Amino acid sequence: MLFVEDLDVKGKTVFVRVDFNVPLNDKAEIRDDTRIKASLPTINYLLAKGARLVLASHLGRPKGKFDPKMSLKPVAARLGALIGREVIFAPDCVGDEVDKLKAGLEDGQVLLLENLRFHEGETKNDPRFSKRLAAGIDLFVNDAFGSSHRAHASVVGIIDFVPKCAAGYLMRLEVEYLRKAIHSPAKPYVAILGGAKSEDKIPVIENLLNKADTILIGGAMAYTFLKAQGHAVGRSLVEADKLEIALSILAKAKDKNVDFLLPIDHVLAVSIESRAVAKITDVYPFPEEMMGVDIGPRTIAQYAEIIAKAKTIVWNGPLGVFETPAFAQGTVKIAQAVAASGAISIIGGGDSIAAVAKAGVSDKITHISTGGGASLEYLAFETLPGIEALEKR
Ligand code: AMP
């Protein structure tokens, strides 16, 4: 796989797939520009070398139709301010007008295309759409790590229609950290997994069972495992169709000598509303009308002790309903424990990133991944469709 520094970019029209999928408020103002800033090393490098930049990204899920609420226009202004030069904004990402704008670029000029997902060809990886994207392009650079777990046109399909392609700085950085965690983790290696949907986390757990020394489970996912073990967990969120796989994971963990820990006490509430009456318990059955909304203080202490001894930590997903302040203790305390551990720590996923920010410890995390889904998928499969496509060339 080539790296952006391997390309001769002077005077070339370079299509850079970036991840500008930033959160907007209802006035279409950018709430957080972390992802734009994360793309700057690649953008600034290419501009310094005299490339003609065509930047492309998706934003939100417009499902193949134009939606002004998901326009990338506000991003053009913010990017312009960050790089100190004009960013020309294209009203679409393909079409005659866009082709003219591409052809009119001079060395060091930047064109930002409108949201790729305004066309359904993007998510369908439609070759006709990929070809339209590649029109007038000399080189393709993928710097959108956070989108590279999707086999979409601007990530995978376009590669068939460009003469040369390479990975950008952000892509390289993300992959370097994850690769280290996968292939040569300093031990003990502790994985922390929370959140609500175990769907994407099950393959990750399966892979981690071959690598990690300890897996700490929290969040709603814990209740699927506890229910599978036969505990009555009241109205806790349980994925009924995952009970069997949960049991097989527990058995495999035992086989492989991996410490697979489930919460030993719980914060219970009648709902996830902040005013819902909460209590702490370490006994089953839970009262029928109550659900587990956070890990309890004994679990926090137990997990924190393990985290303190870790040398590598991978974390994805909050340990409770952390959006509700009354149920955020577990997630915040674990974030503080990770920060204090001195271990190499890798955190992915919007919720976990928000959690470390809430705990005020973001600067103590070794690597905060810009791609939650992508980092999980990389941990599970050790590659991503977008990376495979770059390597194929
Ligand atoms: P995910 O997208 O799978 O990482 O899930 C994140 C969501 O899981 C957050 O919105 C949390 O509020 C939610 N969550 C975490 N713990 C629980 C729980 N015990 N019960 C219900 N939802 C939870």
Q: Give the domain CATH number at 227.
A: 3.40.50.1260
Query: What average pLDDT does the structure give for the chain?
Result: 95
- Whether 338 maps to a domain, the answer reads yes
Number of domains comprising the chain: 2
- Whether 99 maps to a domain, the answer reads yes
Q: How many angstroms is it from 181 CA to the middle of ligand 1?
A: 25
Residue 38: CB atoms within 10 Å: 24
Q: Are 277 and 270 in contact (CB under 8 A)?
A: yes
**Cα 233 to Cα 236: distance, rounded to the nearest angstrom:** 6
Instruction: Tell me what pLDDT residue 233 has.
Output: 98
Instruction: Give the residue among 15, 97, 98 at the shortest CA–CA distance from 56.
Output: 15
Q: How many angstroms is it from 195 CA to the middle of ligand 1?
A: 4
| Residues acting as catalytic residues | 35, 197, 350, 373
Q: Per DSSP, what are the bridge partners of residue 315? A: 192, 347
* Helix, strand, coil % over all residues of the chain, rounded to 5: 40, 15, 40
- Whether 160 maps to a domain, the answer reads yes
Ligand 1 atom closest to residue 197's alpha carbon, by position in its atom list? 3
Instruction: Tell me what pLDDT residue 305 has.
Output: 98
Q: Give the model confidence (pLDDT) of 129-164 as tens digits.
A: 999 999 999 999 999 999 999 999 999 999 999 999
- Final residue belonging to a domain, choices 171, 204, 236: 171
**Cα 14 to Cα 107: distance, rounded to the nearest angstrom:** 11
Q: How many angstroms is it from 322 CA to the middle of ligand 1?
A: 8
pLDDT band at 380 (very low <50, low <70, confident <90, very high): confident
Q: Give the model confidence (pLDDT) of 186-197 as tens digits.
A: 999 999 999 998
Residue 271: CB atoms within 10 Å: 15
Which two structure tokens, joined as six digits, stand for 60?
Answer: 């939100």
- Whether 275 maps to a domain, the answer reads yes
Residues 305, 238 share a domain = yes
Range of the structural domain that residue 282 is part of: 185-380
> Among 201, 221, 224, 237, which residue has the most ligand 1 atoms within 8 Å of its CB, making it the best to mutate?
237
Residues 140, 237 share a domain = no
**Cα 153 to Cα 15: distance, rounded to the nearest angstrom:** 13
- Whether 179 maps to a domain, the answer reads no
Residues touching ligand 1 (Cβ under 6 Å) are 194-197, 219-220, 237, 292-293, 317-318, 320-321, 323, 349, 351
Q: Give the model confidence (pLDDT) of 102-123 as tens digits.
A: 999 999 999 999 999 999 999 9
- Whether 218 maps to a domain, the answer reads yes
Residues 359, 231 share a domain = yes
Residues 221, 82 share a domain = no
Ligand 1 atom closest to residue 199's alpha carbon, by position in its atom list? 3
Q: What percent of the chain has pLDDT over 70?
A: 100
Could you tell me the strand order of the sheet in which 344-348 lies? 259-261, 214-217, 189-193, 312-316, 344-348, 367-368
Instruction: Tell me what pLDDT residue 199 has.
Output: 80
Instruction: Tell me what pLDDT residue 36 has.
Output: 96
- Final residue belonging to a domain, choices 171, 204, 224: 171
Query: For ligand 1, atom 10, which residue shows the shortest CA distance?
Result: 321
Instruction: Tell me what pLDDT residue 244 has.
Output: 96
pLDDT exceeds 80 at position 21: yes
C-alpha distances in angstroms, 37 versus 12, 20, 371? 23, 9, 14
Residues 309, 242 share a domain = yes
Q: How many angstroms is it from 246 CA to the middle of ligand 1?
A: 18
Ligand 1 atom closest to residue 294's alpha carbon, by position in its atom list? 19
Instruction: Tell me what pLDDT residue 379 has.
Output: 86
Q: Which residue has the higher pLDDT, 289 or 380?
A: 289
Which two structure tokens, joined as six digits, stand for 55?
Answer: 């930047």
Residues 98, 24 share a domain = yes
Burial class (CB in 10 A: 0-12, 13-18, 19+), 135: middle
pLDDT band at 335 (very low <50, low <70, confident <90, very high): very high
Q: Give the model confidence (pLDDT) of 54-73 as tens digits.
A: 999 999 999 999 999 999 99
- Whether 54 maps to a domain, the answer reads yes
Q: How many angstroms is it from 187 CA to the middle of ligand 1?
A: 28
- Whether 180 maps to a domain, the answer reads no
